[in-house]
């Protein structure tokens, strides 16, 4: 949620600031603004609405300066208005600040600053006024920044500029902030794509770090002012990966990137001939003594976690999936035989970080399953496994779900091997199906049939998605995608639950998507017959072999024949395509669905 970008160096800052803001649009926003430092002072331009509105205003304002900050705001305190947009300034216009997160004690601070004139509804505005107080007391910019941060409680990432200096100051606590280094400039941002076209050298700040970057270099210090080293690493994402690449939407591009993403997720980890799975990131004894697995996640990642519970249970490992937001508030009993797996694409999901922090000191072991190297979750957990999906810009997750599930299949195999005393399962068929998975996904993409289904049903009253076993989380994910980007009512259910309530809502104008994976299909087919008897249209997602389903379905979305543990990934690709096509026919803003954000960094 929200996006920060900042830049110091040679040449004008404004172009790179605007580019950074555009690259952060996927995080969700309803207003945007920039501030640059000029010889005449700080120049601020900000507006409600999209970045194009901001650009029009900037064209008329002759924004200058080589140092600046920018922000895309997703409203929390106060509605989306010009006044509530960031950056915010002090009474004298000598400071400009952008902020992600929530300042928990802003009301108390605002009372203490009653002599100042506040012009917005935001919690952020207390920051520049605090800075003004310390500057007026004679402190320099860096000390004023530190003393201000000491007054704040909550989660935040902050960047600030001061009149008369070409230094940008930044800090973080519970919200991401990344430093970028190029030959002629330094960058600060909420996420790497903001500056990826200018540099692939990044350093990840830790909570409590204070960075001061200027044209000639940077310093990073801890809360006590001691110098700390945050090593730079090279990101292997191609800048083109963060663009649309000729597709109409990021979501469609990322759907079509799934074969490549899956190859990356599987590469070097599975040996079908030996029936073995290895992760270079994990120590040999990573799962020694584990007898129970908890998976914590939110949204799409939660559906991947649910998928994994079936995989693990099939292998004799008790496993439970929890919504991170619930787990962090009331964690169940854990001990040193429990492995808690945090599933999060960004590695910055606030609820999931809280869930992991809630079991610190209990003896439970922790593992992060994430897409982003250096993200906060990788520092909070003992071990990390990367899904290797590359940058995902679309708010509606697609390739990250497929890569999460493929990686969780491999992880389930590794856990099974370790918990069975090193005895391999008969898994060569499964691993062979995983090896074929990228090509199987490509077959679906090369011969799309989803468009005709979307055209037939895109104006229905409501949509149901049903399945059993691993098909249940696929149904949940199919419904989530559909509602996220079409804005139409869609619900996912276990097929077993249908007659226990949801069947009352089925009508002739309620299309039902039924997911078949080659397991429990007979029972799911019975549920399809129940729906059919109520005149509801049936769209079956099924393998080529399941011809009996054809007798009861109005439409069939085919998936290649594969192992039943893998089939859910293929079924999900078909449902992604249906959601995308339906949303496109309805002219929805597919990459930026209303009220949603890519990286949810506040609870």
Q: Which sequence positions are flagged as catalytic?
A: 2, 598
> What's the rounded Cα separation, in Å, for the pair 518 and 212?
57
> What's the rounded Cα separation, in Å, for the pair 271 and 264?
15
> What's the rounded Cα separation, in Å, for the pair 33 and 87?
6
What is the 3 state secondary structure string of 65-126?
Answer: CCEEEEEEECCCCCCCCCCCCCCEECCCCCEEEEEEEEECCHHHHHHHCCCCCCCCCCCCCH
Q: Are strands 67-73 and 31-38 parallel, antiparallel or unpaired?
A: antiparallel
**Those residues with Cβ within 8 angstroms of residue 502's Cβ, 6 or more apart along the chain or in another chain:** 464, 491, 493
> What's the rounded Cα separation, in Å, for the pair 297 and 320?
11
- Number of helices followed by number of strands (H, E) in the chain: 17, 26
Specify the DSSP class assigned to residue 206: P
> What's the rounded Cα separation, in Å, for the pair 550 and 567?
18
Per this entry, what is the length of the chain? 603
Instruction: Establish how many alpha carbons lie within 13 A of residue 499's alpha carbon, considering only the half-sphere containing its beta carbon.
Output: 11
What is the 3 state secondary structure string of 290-356?
Answer: CCEEEEEECHHHHHHHHHHHHHHHHCCCCEEEEEHHHHCCCCCCCCCCEEEEEEECCCCCHHHHHHH
* Closest C-alpha among 566, 307, 573 to residue 427: 566
* Residues 48, 50, 53, 55, CA torsion sign: positive
Strand, helix or coil at 42? Answer: strand
> What's the rounded Cα separation, in Å, for the pair 36 and 57?
14
| Residue whose tokens read 């050298």 | 201
Q: Assess contact for 87 and 73: CB atoms under 8 A.
A: no
> What's the rounded Cα separation, in Å, for the pair 500 and 479?
19
Q: State the Cα torsion 170-173-174-176 to the nearest 10°.
A: 20
* Closest C-alpha among 65, 38, 66, 60 to residue 47: 60
Q: Based on the number of CB atoms within 10 Å of its own CB, is 110 exposed (0-12), middle (13-18) or buried (19 or more)?
A: middle
> What's the rounded Cα separation, in Å, for the pair 207 and 532?
55
Q: Are strands 201-204 and 178-181 parallel, antiparallel or unpaired?
A: antiparallel
Q: Assess contact for 287 and 419: CB atoms under 8 A.
A: yes
């Amino acid at each position: 949620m929200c996006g920060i970008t900042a830049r110091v160096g040679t040449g004008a800052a404004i172009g790179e600031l605007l580019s950074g803001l555009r690259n952060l649009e996927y995080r969700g926003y309803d207003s945007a603004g920039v501030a640059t430092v000029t010889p005449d002072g700080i120049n601020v331009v900000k507006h409600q609405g999209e970045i194009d509105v901001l650009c029009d205003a900037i064209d008329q304002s002759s924004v200058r300066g080589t140092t600046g900050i920018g922000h895309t705001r997703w409203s929390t305190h106060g509605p989306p208005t010009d006044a509530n947009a960031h950056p915010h300034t002090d009474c004298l216009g000598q400071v400009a600040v952008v902020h992600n997160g929530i300042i928990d004690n802003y009301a108390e601070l605002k009372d203490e600053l009653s002599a100042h004139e506040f012009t917005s509804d935001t919690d952020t505005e207390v920051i520049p006024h605090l800075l003004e107080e310390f500057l007026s007391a004679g402190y320099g910019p860096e000390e004023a920044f530190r003393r201000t941060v000491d007054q704040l409680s909550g989660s935040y990432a902050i960047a600030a500029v001061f009149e008369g200096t070409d230094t940008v100051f930044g800090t973080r606590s519970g919200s991401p902030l990344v430093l970028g280094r190029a030959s002629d400039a330094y960058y600060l941002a909420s996420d790497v794509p903001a500056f990826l076209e200018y540099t692939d050298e990044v350093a990840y700040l830790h909570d409590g770090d204070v960075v001061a970057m200027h044209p000639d270099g940077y310093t990073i210090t801890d809360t006590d002012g001691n110098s700390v080293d945050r090593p730079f690493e090279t990101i292997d994402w191609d800048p083109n990966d963060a663009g649309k690449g000729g597709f109409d939407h990021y979501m469609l591009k990322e759907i079509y990137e799934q074969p490549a993403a899956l190859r990356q997720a599987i590469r070097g980890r599975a040996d079908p001939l030996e029936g073995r799975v290895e992760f270079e990131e994990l120590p040999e004894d990573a799962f020694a003594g584990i007898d129970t697995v908890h998976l914590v996640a939110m949204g799409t990642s939660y559906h991947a976690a649910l998928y994994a519970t079936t995989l693990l249970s099939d292998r004799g490992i008790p496993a439970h999936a929890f919504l991170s937001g619930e787990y962090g508030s009331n964690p169940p009993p854990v001990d040193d035989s429990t492995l808690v797996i945090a599933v999060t694409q960004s590695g910055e999901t606030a609820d999931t970080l809280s869930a992991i922090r809630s079991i610190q000191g209990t003896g439970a072991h922790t593992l992060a399953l994430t897409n982003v190297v250096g993200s906060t979750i990788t520092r909070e957990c003992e071990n990390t496994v990367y899904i290797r999906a590359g940058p995902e810009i679309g708010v509606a997750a697609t390739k990250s779900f497929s890569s999460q599930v493929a990686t969780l299949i491999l992880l389930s195999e590794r856990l099974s091997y370790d918990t069975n005393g090193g005895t391999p399962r008969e898994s060569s068929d499964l691993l062979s199906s995983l090896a074929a998975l990228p090509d199987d996904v490509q077959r679906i993409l090369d011969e799309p049939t989803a468009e005709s289904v979307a055209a037939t049903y895109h104006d229905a009253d409501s949509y149901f998605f049903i399945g059993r076993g691993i098909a249940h989380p696929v149904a949940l994910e199919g419904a989530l995608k559909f509602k996220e980007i079409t804005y139409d009512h869609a619900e996912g259910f276990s097929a077993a639950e249908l007659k226990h309530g949801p069947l009352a809502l089925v009508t002739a104008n309620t299309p039902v998507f039924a997911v078949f994976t080659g397991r429990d299909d007979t029972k799911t087919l019975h549920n399809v017959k129940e729906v059919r008897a109520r005149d509801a249209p049936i769209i079956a997602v099924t393998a080529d072999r399941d011809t009996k389903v054809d007798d009861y379905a109005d439409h069939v979305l085919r998936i290649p024949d594969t192992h039943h543990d893998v089939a859910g990934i293929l079924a999900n690709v078909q449902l992604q395509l249906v959601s995308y096509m339906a949303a496109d026919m309805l002219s929805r803003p597919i990459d930026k669905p209303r009220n949603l954000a890519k990286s949810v960094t506040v609870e």
